[in-house]
Amino acid sequence: MLRLLHRFPLVTRGLRAISYRARLGRGEPGGEIRYHTIAGDSSHHWSVTLCSTLDPEEIRRWTTAQTLENIEVTDQVSPDRGWFLAPGEDLHSVPPGWLESALLVAFTESIDAMVLAERVSSAPQDLPTSAEDLLDAPWRSLTLFSAQSYRWDPRTDTVRYRRDTPIAKVIGPNGVGSTPPRSLADSPNSRGPYLGARPLPGLLKIGLADHLPAVKTDEGDPRPGILVTVPFLARGGAEHTLFETLKVLHGDYRMAFVTLAPHRAELGDRRNDFEGLSPHFFSLGDWVHPDAMVPMLLHLIDRLNIDVL
């Protein structure tokens, strides 16, 4: 039977769609996410445009607190390339590496908008259920938009689609590896961490870039660079020993941290402590599929001028 279905792909897709709609009708999660490798585009600039009519001094304080160095600011025109942030009336208080981290995920996956709410204390607990929700408060201020798919209108300070079939990724307060506080069955417009403005197909294909743009930073710091990779940073003896050791060494080295597995609340979380040693902190296990991690790690090694892994 399976061999016969493979010979008739249209029938297979039709049966998949019927099964998908039936499961959604019963209130059950439905559909499938399939990841595949795509060629990364090294021509993209590692930068973000902040589109806002807020007080320039407030914007300056917010941007200078971020580790991302290339942040352009405009209050007059929507960018026509790259990624942009249009926070509206609210610039959230976020970790210093927030924008850098959101951009890293945005460059890795074939998505049109990227929401990073993980470890943002003011983020809403109820997750959005459609890409439409990202165009307005409270989610818009935590969303990075692709200029190819969205535009900002400075006259009305609104964000609208350039095309009406965008795919957005939402990393909620608990990351993508944990069940959100209010668990919702997949709806026609949502599947896992992905949202559409229209109902998603039964088979949602997400591309993962095989390489990312290489942009050097920290070139003026002569200290050797160390990238510390760990599964996660719970509250245990191993993490305590690691922290105390690195606390002694951090004055002599540039440090960056990467975690590769989801954090679990019941094990505790020491990431805030380690961020005191370096603002370059990337919780890959809480953000992306494991297949996306290798090019992300290679990119970080190159961009942060890492000497020791």
35 located within any domain: no
Token readout for 130 is: 């459609």
**What pairing do the DSSP bridges indicate for beta strands 143-146 and 83-85?**
antiparallel
Poorest-pLDDT segment among 9-13, 136-140, 213-217, 278-282: 9-13
Residues 275 and 172 in one domain: no
In contact, 111 and 167? CB cutoff 8 Å: yes
Residues 281 and 233 in one domain: yes
41 located within any domain: no
Residues 98 and 26 in one domain: no
Residues 13 and 54 in one domain: no
Token readout for 86 is: 């249009």
Q: What does each C-alpha distance from 280 to 254, 255, 271 come to in angstroms?
A: 10, 7, 11
Residues 113 and 189 in one domain: yes
**pLDDT tens-digit map of 144-189:** 999 999 999 999 999 999 987 899 999 998 888 544 444 444 578 9
- Domain stops at, among 209, 237, 258: 209
Range of the domain at 53: 48-209
Count CB neighbours of 167 within 10 A.
21
Token readout for 208 is: 């993962």
Residues 202 and 255 in one domain: no
The per-residue pLDDT for 63 is: 95
Token readout for 237 is: 């003896």
What band does 206 get if pLDDT is binned at 50, 70 and 90? very high
β partners of residue 161: 150
Residues 257 and 200 in one domain: no
Listed in sequence order, the DSSP H helices in the chain are 2-6, 9-25, 56-64, 98-108, 237-249, 271-275, 293-303
Place of tokens 């407030």: 58
Count CB neighbours of 255 within 10 A.
23
Residues 18 and 60 in one domain: no
> Which of these, 227, 231, 246, lies nearest to 302 by C-alpha position?
227
Question: Averaged over 269-279, what is the pLDDT?
Answer: 90
The per-residue pLDDT for 181 is: 42
71 located within any domain: yes
Report the predicted TM-score, pTM, of the whole model to 2 decimal places. Answer: 0.86
Residues 252 and 284 in one domain: yes
* Domains of the chain: total: 3
What band does 244 get if pLDDT is binned at 50, 70 and 90? very high
Residues 11 and 135 in one domain: no
**Within 13 Å of residue 78, how many CA atoms lie on the same side as its CB?**
20
**pLDDT tens-digit map of 74-119:** 999 999 889 999 999 888 889 999 999 999 999 999 999 999 998 8
Residues 239 and 140 in one domain: no
- Domain stops at, among 153, 177, 209: 209
> Which of these, 293, 194, 215, lies nearest to 43 by C-alpha position?
215
